[in-house]
Amino acid sequence: MSKITKEMSIGEVLEKYPATEKVFMKYFGAGCFTCPGAKTEDIAFGATMHGVDVEEILKELNEVAEESEEAQ
């Protein structure tokens, strides 16, 4: 599995790992999915804008991505 990094765009992660939507929803809220910039903004920027610890969200994103790959 390729690790999710803070430089990756939110859209890129959602496309590659759809199961991560629940993590983005938890930390960034539902507005994340209607925001025009969400597809191109990187995770680090989103974390800063929402006052979230980027390492915390990356840990959960990677856990969910790994679980979804193992389930396939």
Give me the chain's average pLDDT, please.
Answer: 89
pLDDT at 2: 61
Domain tally for the chain? 1
Q: Is residue 5 part of a domain?
A: no
Quick: pLDDT tens for 5-37. 999 999 999 999 999 999 999 999 887 777 777
Q: Is residue 65 part of a domain?
A: yes
Task: Output the pTM of the full model.
Answer: 0.88
Q: Residue 51: which region, alpha, beta or left (left: phi > 0; alpha: psi -120 to 50)? A: left
Give the residue numbers spanning the domain of 41. Answer: 10-71
Q: Is residue 4 part of a domain?
A: no
Q: Is residue 59 part of a domain?
A: yes
Evaluated on CA atoms 26, 64, 21, 10, the torsion sign reads positive
Do the Cβ atoms of 1 and 66 come closer than 8 Å? yes
Q: Is residue 17 part of a domain?
A: yes
Q: Is residue 3 part of a domain?
A: no
Angle at 44 (CA atoms; ends 43, 50), nearest 5 degrees = 85
